[in-house]
Amino acid sequence: MGRSNSIFGVRSPSASPDDSTRRRPEVDFDPVAFLEDAVKTPSHEDIAEMRQLLVSTIEAQGFAAHVDDAGNTISTRETDEPGPHVVLNTHIDTVAPHVEFSRDGDIIRGRGSCDAKGPLTALLVAFFDTDLQRGKLTLAITPDEEVKSTGAAALDLDGDAYIVGEPTGLDVCNAAKGRFEGTITVRGENAHAAEPQSGVNAITGAGHVLRALETFLDRDDAPPVHEELGAATLEPTMIRGGTATNQIPAECEIVVDRRSVPPETSDSFEHLLETHLRENVPDVEFDVTYDFEFTDRPTPFLEAWETDPEGKLAQTLAAASGGAIRPFSAATEASYFAHDAPTVVFGPGLLADGNEPVAHSPNEYVLVSAVEAAAEAVTETVAAFLS
């Protein structure tokens, strides 16, 4: 990968005061120690302690770090020489519950080990170690990717290339499905269950809606199957209805999960679903009504995105890592950046190991050797843009 020495445990050249943003000073950064500390630090309910660890780590390398109003931790290195702006991004929050840290040789286990504190460690190495000769390098770490993505939605970085750290098994992911969520509410009229004809049974109406959803993907005007991502999906994931066992229910809610592919947007999906329901929910002998609303959230949904697999960013990183170029199977905050500039998702660790879950599971782990390989690959890629 063009580097004769591992960057783990290597001391970088010292920096003079006038180029402190180009090179880090002669201060050792121990990535394995940082990763172990990070996994030991719970961040599933409150990210404050983890964010302080991150800020203090950046500052210990001689770089300024600040936390913006949205909770993002941002550090920037910049030169006077014109050049691209490369952004390194991932998140510090994790899902619940916390899984305690343990280590067995090359394997580090615990919540966040691969999603996404292992990728974060690799990005930190690249941020500290790149010999910056032109352009700008920004580290932007978000606080709530697993929940509402308010941090990422607030970022306005104007980057020319984005590397988003997630567990990809060192593959370079250049596309991902989006995720929309909403509720179809079916409304009827309460009545005594002994006299059902006097009411309007919303659950019965919901059955017609569910049957209509089964044909949604067959529409002629549905988004085409994407060459890399495959077909979009639409699945009912929750159903709620009724308040008493002896009462005809007046309302029933069906929560649906949409995994979109380009070029579908949340607006175009909403219009298509409402059209489909109007056309395919049959008239019944009683007056049931229904409507669809997206789940309320303070940020835009993570929409489908794609980046040219033949472009410089994907090709350089794939050559450096030895991984494949492929889609990512989960929605990520890369969705917010890909409309601005080429964006890829990359990092050590796996979402699943064969049929066994890894990320978000009690068995979450990452290999130290994979973190090292990811760090070297990202460093080499950043250097291709900025050195």
Break the chain into its structural domains and give their ranges: 17-176+304-386, 178-294
Strand 102-104: give its sheet, edge to edge. 102-104, 107-109, 365-367
pLDDT at 20 over 60: no
- Please give the backbone phi and psi of residue 146, each rounded to the nearest 5 degrees, phi first: -75, -10
**Beta pairing class for 178-187 and 251-260:** antiparallel
pLDDT-derived band of residue 224, with 50, 70 and 90 as boundaries?
Answer: very high
Contacts of 330 (CB under 8 A, 6+ apart): 166, 176, 351
Sign (positive or negative) of CA dihedral 304, 309, 310, 314: positive
User: Cβ atoms within 10 A of the Cβ of 366, count?
Assistant: 32
Contacts of 136 (CB under 8 A, 6+ apart): 76, 77, 78, 79, 83, 84, 85, 86, 386
pLDDT-derived band of residue 15, with 50, 70 and 90 as boundaries?
Answer: very low
* Alpha carbons 119 and 114: distance in angstroms, whole number: 7
Percent of the chain scoring above 90 in pLDDT: 89
pLDDT-derived band of residue 282, with 50, 70 and 90 as boundaries?
Answer: confident
Per-state percent for the chain, helix, strand, coil, to nearest 5? 30, 25, 45
Contacts of 105 (CB under 8 A, 6+ apart): none
- Which run of H or E residues covers position 179? strand 178-187
* Alpha carbons 356 and 353: distance in angstroms, whole number: 5
Output the pLDDT for position 27: 59
pLDDT-derived band of residue 14, with 50, 70 and 90 as boundaries?
Answer: very low
pLDDT tens per residue across span 300-355: 999 999 999 999 999 999 999 999 999 998 889 999 999 999 999 999 999 999 98
pLDDT-derived band of residue 286, with 50, 70 and 90 as boundaries?
Answer: low
Query: Mean pLDDT throughout 66-87?
Result: 97
The DSSP secondary-structure symbol of 295 reads P
- 228 vs 103, which has greater pLDDT? 103
- Which run of H or E residues covers position 311? none
* Alpha carbons 93 and 43: distance in angstroms, whole number: 5
Query: Mean pLDDT throughout 90-117?
Result: 98
Picking from 183, 182, 184, 188, the residue whose alpha carbon sits closest to that of residue 289 is 188
pTM: 0.87
Which residues are bridge partners to 67 per DSSP? Answer: 73
pLDDT-derived band of residue 271, with 50, 70 and 90 as boundaries?
Answer: very high
- The CATH architecture of the domain made up of 178-294 is 2-Layer Sandwich (3.30)
Peptide bond between residue 13 and the one before it cis (omega within 30 degrees of 0): no
Output the pLDDT for position 304: 94
Query: Mean pLDDT throughout 278-302?
Result: 87
Output the pLDDT for position 9: 45
Q: pLDDT averaged over the chain? A: 92
Q: Which of 11-15, 70-74, 94-98, 170-174 has the lowest mean pLDDT?
A: 11-15
Peptide bond between residue 263 and the one before it cis (omega within 30 degrees of 0): yes
H-type helices in 108-234, by residue range? 117-129, 150-154, 202-213
pLDDT at 7 over 50: no
The DSSP secondary-structure symbol of 231 reads -
Output the pLDDT for position 331: 87
Top-level class of domain 17-176+304-386: alpha beta
pLDDT at 382 over 50: yes
Output the pLDDT for position 297: 92
* Alpha carbons 42 and 323: distance in angstroms, whole number: 31
- Residue pointed to by tokens 């089964």: 214
Output the pLDDT for position 168: 98
Contacts of 42 (CB under 8 A, 6+ apart): 49, 50, 94, 98, 111
The DSSP secondary-structure symbol of 223 reads P
Query: Mean pLDDT throughout 120-131?
Result: 97
